[in-house]
Structure 1
Amino acid sequence: MRLSAEPAFVLHARPWRETSLLVEVLSEHHGRLGLVARGVQGPKKQPLRAALQPLQWIRFEAVQVGELARLSTAEALDVAPRLSGEAMLSGFYLNELTLRLAPRQDPSPELYDAFGRARARLGAGEPLAWTLRRYERDLLDALGFGFDLANDGDGTPIDPAARYRLDPEHGPRRVLSDRGHGDRSRAATGRGLLALAADELPESDDLPGLRRAMRDVLAHYLGPRGLKSWDMLAELNRVSRPPGQTVTD
C-alpha cells in the first residue's frame, strides 16, 4: 500500500543500523505507523533528519510493507514547538503516552486532532497540567476507553462537593471513606471532573486530584511497565521540589 501526502506527527525516532532511523508517527488517515527511513546520514539529508524529530508535523510518502512502511520522502509542515524544562518533559509525555496506547494501523482522526491541539497548546505556553489532562481525556475517548465525567457510573450526576475515583471499567465512583477503594488520596473533586467534562479550566486546587485519578485509569491500560516520563517526573520531584510540591505532569 502506498501512502501519499500523508500528514502526521512524529512521536519517536531512533537509530537503526548504521545510516537509518526507525520512526513512529501518528498519521491522520492511518493511525500510528512505524516508518523505516533509510540512508539519512550526510549533509544532504539534514532537512529529512530535521523533519523526523519528535513533535514535528510532517507530510510524508511511504510504501507499507508488512508491519513497517518504507519512507521515501518527508517534509516539515511547520516549525515544531521549541520547548524547554517542564514543557519539554510534557511533550515527551504526550509522545510516549500516545506511542504506548495507540495501536498501529488503526485509523483515529479524533486522536490525530487531539494530539494536534495538545501540541499547539504546549507551543503557546498554556498551563501544562490542564493541557495534559485534556489530552488524556481526549485520548481515552478516541480509543474507546473514555466515560461520562458529568455522571457517575450509575448515572447519578456528579456532586461538585464530593470526591470520586475513576474506575476504568465503571467510570466515576464516589468516595465515601478513606478505607479500601475509598482512598481519598487518589480521588478527584467532583468540581474538577465537571470542569474537565465541560472543557473549562478547573480551580488550581482541583488539578492534583485530576492528575492522580487520570493516572490510575491510564496505568490500568498501560499495564505494569508504566511510562518512562512518569519515572522522570518522580525523580525530578525528588531532587528539585520542596515537600508537597510536584512538577506538573
Structure 2
Amino acid sequence: MRIAGEPAFVLHTRPWRESSLLVEVLGASHGRLGLLARGVQGPKRHVLRAALQPLQYLRIDAVQRGELAQLRAAEALDAAPRLAGEATLAAFYVNELVLRLAPRGDPQPDLFVAYARSRARLGAGAPLAWTLRRFERDLLQALGFGFDCAVDGDGLAIDPAARYRIDPEYGPRRLLRDRGRDDRSDAATGRALLALAADEDLAASALDADDLAGLRRALRPVLTYHLGGRGLKSWELLGELGRLAPRA
C-alpha cells in the first residue's frame, strides 16, 4: 500500500542499526503508523532527520510492507513547538498515551484533531493540567472509551457540589456521604466534570487547584484500566501529574 502526502505528527523516534530510524507517527488518514527511515543518520541527511523529531508536523510518503512502512519522503509543515521543563514532560505524556492506546493502522481522525489542539495549547503556554485533562477526555472519546461528563452512570445530571469516582465502563459514580468512607482523594468534583464536559477555558471557569487535582486522580484509574494495568514511563518521571500546577 502506498501512502502519499499524508499529514502526520511524530510521536517517537529511536535509532535502528547504524544509519536508520524507527519512527512512530499519528497520521490524519491512516492513524498510528510505524515507519522505517533508512539512511537518515548521515551528515547530509540532517534536514530529514530534523523533520523526524517528536511533535513535528510533517507530510510523508511511504510504502506499507508488513508491520512497518518504508519512509520515502518527509517534509516539515511547520516549526515544532519549543517546549521546556514541565511542558516537555507533558508532551512526552501525550505522545506516550497515543503510543500505548492507539492501535497501528486504525484511522483515528478525531484523535488526530485532538492531538493537534493539544500540541497547539502546549506551544502557546496554556495551563498544563487543564490541557492534559482535555486531551485525556478527547483521547478516550476518540478510541471509543469515552463517557459523558455531564451525567452520571445512572443518567442523572452531575451535581456541581458533589464528588464522583469514575468507573471505566460505567462512568461517573456519585459518592454518598453516608457510606462512611473518608478517602475521597480519587474523586472528581462535580464542577470539574461539568467544566470538562463544556470544554471551558480554565480562566473562564471557577475551578481551583483541588478541582484539578481531584479530576486528575479520578481519570488515572480509567486510563490505567485501558492500559491493561501497566503504567506509563511518564507517570514515573513526573511522579504525580498534579505538580503540573495551572498557570495563568
The TM-score range, normalised by the shorter chain, is: over 0.9
User: C-alpha offsets along residues 30-59 of structure 1, whole Å, 9 cap, x if unaligned?
Assistant: 000000000012222101110000000010
Between the aligned partners of 2:151 and 2:227, the Cα distance in structure 1 is 25
What is the match of residue 64 of structure 1? Answer: 64
Aligned to 1:184, the other structure's residue is in SS state coil
What runs of 5+ residues in structure 1 fail to find an aligned partner? Answer: 238-244
Give yes or no for the alignment of 1:247 onto 2:244.
yes
8 Å CA contact 1:176–1:182 kept in 2: the answer is no
TM-score by length of 2: 0.93
What is the match of residue 105 of structure 2? Answer: 105
User: C-alpha offsets along residues 136-165 of structure 1, whole Å, 9 cap, x if unaligned?
Assistant: 000000000001110000000000000001
User: C-alpha offsets along residues 14-43 of structure 1, whole Å, 9 cap, x if unaligned?
Assistant: 001111100000000000000000001222
User: C-alpha offsets along residues 169-215 of structure 1, whole Å, 9 cap, x if unaligned?
Assistant: 10000012496988411000000000000001241231111111111
Give yes or no for the alignment of 1:227 onto 2:232.
yes
Aligned residues: 241
Aligned to 1:185, the other structure's residue is in SS state coil
User: Which moved further from structure 2: 175-184 or 77-86?
Assistant: 175-184
8 Å CA contact 1:175–1:182 kept in 2: the answer is no
Q: Percent of aligned pairs with the same residue?
A: 71
Between the aligned partners of 2:88 and 2:130, the Cα distance in structure 1 is 15
8 Å CA contact 2:128–2:244 kept in 1: the answer is no
Between the aligned partners of 2:180 and 2:26, the Cα distance in structure 1 is 39
What runs of 5+ residues in structure 2 fail to find an aligned partner? Answer: none
**What amino acid does structure 2 have at the position aligned with 1:230?**
W
Between the aligned partners of 1:161 and 1:116, the Cα distance in structure 2 is 33
Between the aligned partners of 2:222 and 2:107, the Cα distance in structure 1 is 23
**What amino acid does structure 2 have at the position aligned with 1:23?**
V
- The Cα of 1:66 is off from its aligned counterpart by 1.0
What is the match of residue 154 of structure 1? Answer: 154
Between the aligned partners of 1:217 and 1:178, the Cα distance in structure 2 is 25
Between the aligned partners of 1:178 and 1:224, the Cα distance in structure 2 is 30
Between the aligned partners of 1:7 and 1:54, the Cα distance in structure 2 is 14
Instruction: Go from structure 1 to structure 2 and tell me whether the alpha carbon gap of 1:19 and 1:227 turns closer, same or farther (over 3 Å shift).
Output: same
8 Å CA contact 1:175–1:183 kept in 2: the answer is no
8 Å CA contact 1:86–1:248 kept in 2: the answer is no
Give yes or no for the alignment of 1:212 onto 2:217.
yes
Give yes or no for the alignment of 1:19 onto 2:23.
no
Between the aligned partners of 2:217 and 2:226, the Cα distance in structure 1 is 15
RMSD: 1.8
Between the aligned partners of 2:178 and 2:6, the Cα distance in structure 1 is 50
Between the aligned partners of 1:191 and 1:218, the Cα distance in structure 2 is 21
Between the aligned partners of 1:14 and 1:118, the Cα distance in structure 2 is 23
**What amino acid does structure 2 have at the position aligned with 1:83?**
L
Between the aligned partners of 2:185 and 2:46, the Cα distance in structure 1 is 49
Between the aligned partners of 1:138 and 1:182, the Cα distance in structure 2 is 31
Aligned to 1:211, the other structure's residue is in SS state helix
Instruction: Go from structure 1 to structure 2 and tell me whether the alpha carbon gap of 1:164 and 1:233 turns closer, same or farther (over 3 Å shift).
Output: same
